[in-house]
Chain A
């Protein structure tokens, strides 16, 4: 059974009005359990829309989506996935531990079980001593680690991430990428990851989904052959650069219709 199955999905905003936007046209995608899949493409290619469709925060105009064999809406009701955004989105009025407990509160867990799980998650993201602090007392990278801990608190099999490291500096970002891979390996979580950054997509993923705008669609699926275990040395490996070049060329292809587009707009090339 696939972790995510997207079949013939289109999403059209403001259909039939002058402001109609074809956000996604005929998208098919299968994500297997344990896989790490990145969605990459220039602004407006519908990658965030696709993520929100999988999360059932949006409904597809046509087509169907299943998550863990269930309909997207059922899996949202069952909290089958955790979600993290570019903004950590922590609640300033809750302590770090209470932030992590939020999804468990909504699942109706009792207090002791929640506290124990929060502590377990804090240890997973290596911030156990910060339980009683408030989010605004933490750095951006720490806040994002708490957001990941919160997303995984209920041990969902699937993690959906929308540019979670987009607002972090480069060094923190690389550290967070390593941490994310470690956490996902320890918890055997499937990840769908939206990013603007080519190296980030290649470093993290088993597969990179390249998308193109107007209308939003998938143009390439690129397998990354970096093996299961990735370290800081991976960033200097030949296969890493091969992967980056493959993704970059696929992204250029998406701009073939923009005659003289030398560089890919909206995609970070660092």
Chain B
């Protein structure tokens, strides 16, 4: 029964994907589209396996930048959200700056950061990813720490609980699902940020720069093969964030959202 259900769930999107790729292949062949206009999926897969080692290298570079940035951004974001929820006036000090930072196209900061470090440094990209992740985590976790049920707070006060006890037993557990929501948003965004940061100079070793250089050399199918790598990396990050979420809240709040909704 479970297997039949699973097949029923997986089959339609799988069939759709196959149909889409077949249509793509058919259009490219049928209209005899030139490879520099649109590469056929078969050619893309061919390039993907032919260049697998190089794609893997580029993926590791972009992937580790994304991962390091994701971890650093999460750590700083969580730390700052604790500060903000404890000292409300800090929020008033920091919020305008945060809005200002968010209002500029944040990627252009990479160009500025690149000037601060040596040309081969990966640090500017990692800082970039951290910054983007930091805001996502900060906003969500701060919400989780502050938006607790008023009944819960009154109840804790009626137990003569200290602020620290309220933090530990009410605010932090309340914020945990918010952290994982933030990570689910931040994980794919960290990968995208890592790619796009590569467009602004620095070492030409990541997926983003490989895609541009292949397009510049009219190696369209190879560029698409790197796009495929990028896509797989993003999916991996997203999948890991979901696995982490269900592992962290087994039986608790997460399964509530799964069961009831």
What is A's interface to B at a CB cutoff of 8 Å?
A: 52, 55, 57, 76-79, 81-83, 85, 87, 89, 91-93, 102-103, 105-107, 134, 136, 160
Contact = CB atoms under 8 A, between A and B. Distances in A.
Contacts of B170: 91
A102 B159 contact: yes
B251 to A, nearest CB: 7
Contacts of B161: 106
B155 to A, nearest CB: 5
Contact of B154 (A79, A85, A103, A136): A85
Given A79-B160, A83-B158, A103-B159, A89 B152 contact: yes
A102 B253 CA distance: 18
For the side of the interface on B, what is the size category? Answer: 20 to 34
Main secondary structure of the interface of B (DSSP, over half): helix
A83 B260 contact: no
19 contacts: A52-B154, A57-B154, A79-B159, A81-B158, A83-B154, A83-B155, A85-B151, A85-B155, A87-B149, A91-B173, A92-B252, A92-B253, A93-B173, A93-B249, A102-B159, A102-B169, A106-B160, A134-B251, A136-B256
B176 interface: yes
A93 B176 CA distance: 10
B253 to A, nearest CB: 5
Contacts of B176: 93
B108 interface: no
Contact of A134 (B157, B159, B160, B256): B256
Contacts of A106: 156, 159-161, 165
A106 B163 CA distance: 12
Nearest to B249: A93
Nearest 9 interchain pairs by C-beta = A89-B151, A83-B158, A93-B173, A106-B159, A77-B160, A87-B151, A93-B252, A85-B151, A136-B256
Contacts of A76: 157-158, 160
Contacts of A77: 160
Contacts of B151: 85, 87, 89
A50 to B, nearest CB: 15
Contacts of A81: 158
